[in-house]
Structure 1
Amino acid sequence: MTLLDTLRGGLVVSCQPVDDGPMDRPDIVAAMAAAAVAGGADGLRIEGVANLKATRAAVSVPIVAILKRDLADSPVRITPYLDDVRALARAGADIIAYDATDRPRPETSAALVAEIRAAGVMAMADCSTLADGKRAQAEGAAILGTTLSGYTEETSGRGDGVDTDLIRAFHDLGAFVMAEGRVNTPDLAALAMASGADAVTVGTALTRLEHVTGWFKAAVKAV
């Protein structure tokens, strides 16, 4: 069975705690990841080399790895450098995701995909538009994700729900489609699959306790 076969029809849990929050520690990230796998997760999305190493030692399911940076001269945050790719590959990534948007960046997306593939790892393109997906597919990305839809200047205002239009468009390209971004309920996860996704990534609703607590607190105070 291939890696994509393992993920097809499955759930990926993104274990990314709030930055600098009380759960932002490698041992806690690894524990969250193990709990997600115990609950049925078919794969994980993990940020950072230390978190990846801790999680890789705790689970055997496929891991989508990223490294986030805040750059002074680029809006690109997800795995912007070739050195990031090398570090994640050495730490045990099965898949490395990168920002596949057409924005100013320190390394070209084509170079990142080439480096990911040279490391023997699969590339996942975090996209915001159909054009991003087409370019990523041509450059050799194996997975197209809707991750950045609504989070770029070009796509701001797309709404709070899952981008089903982009899921369908990626499906029509014949790509392996990862629905990601604002999948905050089981119903939205089901909608993503019904719209043509091959797998769904859920993060905030499962692993960012501060945010989910805020949702409930707001509901309670609104009554």
Structure 2
Amino acid sequence: MRRDEIISNLKGGLIVSCQALPGEPLYIEGDTIMPLMARAAKKSGACAIRTNGVLDVIKIKEETNLPIIGLIKKSYEGFEQYITFTMDEVDALVEAGADIIAIDCTLRKRINGETVEEFIKKIKEKHPNILLMADISNYEEGVNAYKAGVDIVSTTLSGYTNYTEKLDGPDYKLVEDLVRDIDIPVVAEGRVHYPDQAAKMLEIGAFAVVVGGAITRPLEITERFMKAMRRG
């Protein structure tokens, strides 16, 4: 599938995030059940899958043949970023067959003093055909990533950096502001827990919507029910 076809395939669609991290109930060391989650998402009409790690990229691609947004979550001592932070991780995702690679494009301190712009430039030079999704937390970071040459901006990290407001629900304003001011796809992601919230994101101009916890994380879903019932 060509780059323009991949992006076109996302328009107005639901991207389902299928991830399980160490310590979570659905995580299996050396194995994965995420392709089954992805199978269900595809059957229900999802336009793409967002997933973490080389194994899940490969297995979900084999299972669904949907566009795959790949990332690698890994912590580095002394740095707050954990989403596809180095070129080694980008290389691994390209080799695994990811169609789009999500990278942390927050403006926090990076390894060797490298800037977001420099990292994006290196990726584009080494992998000119790969699509890049910028995971950002605020308006400034979204505009900066757009100017640096990414293909898609996603609001993934809004509320998850220490300088952004911790909202109970989605960050509609951030999506609206970015849609207004940049001319590449803006994907809404983060705390989209209910179908009406996803629909509203499309109404205000989001190119597509990513939903993860509300679909593929039974622990979070159960906790949400329990919290509401205890209030009752």
* TM-score using structure 1 length: 0.94
Q: Deviation per CA, 1:67-106, whole angstroms, max 9, x where unpaired?
A: 0111211001110001000000100100001111100122
What displacement does 1:201 show?
0.2
2:117 is aligned to: 110
1:199 is aligned to: 208
Unaligned runs of 5+ residues in structure 2 are none
What displacement does 1:128 show?
1.0
2:229 is aligned to: 220
What displacement does 1:109 show?
2.0
User: Which of 51, 57, 69 is equivalent to 1:46?
Assistant: 51
Shift of the 177–73 alpha-carbon distance from structure 1 to 2, 3 Å rule, reads same
Q: Distance in 2 between matches of 1:45 and 1:114?
A: 23
Matched, 1:14 2:6: no
Q: Is the 8 A contact 1:74 1:104 kept in 2?
A: yes
Q: Is the 8 A contact 2:25 2:219 kept in 1?
A: no
1:58 is aligned to: 63
Unaligned runs of 5+ residues in structure 1 are none
Dislocated runs of 4+, deviation >6 Å: none
Q: Is the 8 A contact 1:47 1:68 kept in 2?
A: yes
1:168 is aligned to: 176
Identity of aligned residues (%): 38
Which secondary structure state, in structure 1, belongs to the residue aligned with residue 187 of structure 2? Answer: strand
2:152 is aligned to: 143
Shift of the 170–80 alpha-carbon distance from structure 1 to 2, 3 Å rule, reads same
Q: Deviation per CA, 1:122-171, whole angstroms, max 9, x where unpaired?
A: 000011111111111111101011111111111033x1121111111111
Which secondary structure state, in structure 1, belongs to the residue aligned with residue 223 of structure 2? Answer: helix
Query: Please, which moves more after superposition, 100-109 or 195-204?
Result: 100-109
Q: Is the 8 A contact 1:113 1:140 kept in 2?
A: yes
- Which runs of structure 2 are paired with 1:79-98 in the superposition (5 Å)? 79-98=84-103
Give the aligned CA root-mean-square deviation in angstroms: 1.5
